[in-house]
Amino acid sequence: MPTLYGIKNCDTVKKARQWLDKHKIDYRFHDFREDGLTQAMLKHFAEQLDWQELLNQRSTSWRQLDAAQKADLNEDKALQLMHETPTLIKRPLLDADGKWLVGFKAERYQAEFDH
């Protein structure tokens, strides 16, 4: 069963959930705020996807970081920042039986579930 990771009040996550519901695709939803986010989960995400793809540098949360937090960014530092501030993670993350999608685009979801 696919797992959708995100934050339930995020507009993009809402769109992904609506698309999955509309297409009658069973999935598990993991809310970072309610269900938690561990370092192990983040490490697993980074093993599946490039950490730079996970980090949302266009988010309000990113803009609120100070220069020192943004400086000398590497995987460990980025994962620590995402652990401290889950809204720095691009959302939603979809694990569709080992195939990972970041963000939501209806065409990409359609292509993934049309097989």
Q: Which residues are known catalytic residues?
A: 10
Q: Which amino acid would we find at residue 32?
A: F
The CA distance from 49 to 43, in Å, is 10
The CA distance from 20 to 30, in Å, is 14
Residue 5's closest CA among 86, 80, 112?
A: 86
Beta carbons within 10 angstroms of residue 8's beta carbon = 12
The CA distance from 88 to 86, in Å, is 5
Q: Which amino acid would we find at residue 47?
A: E
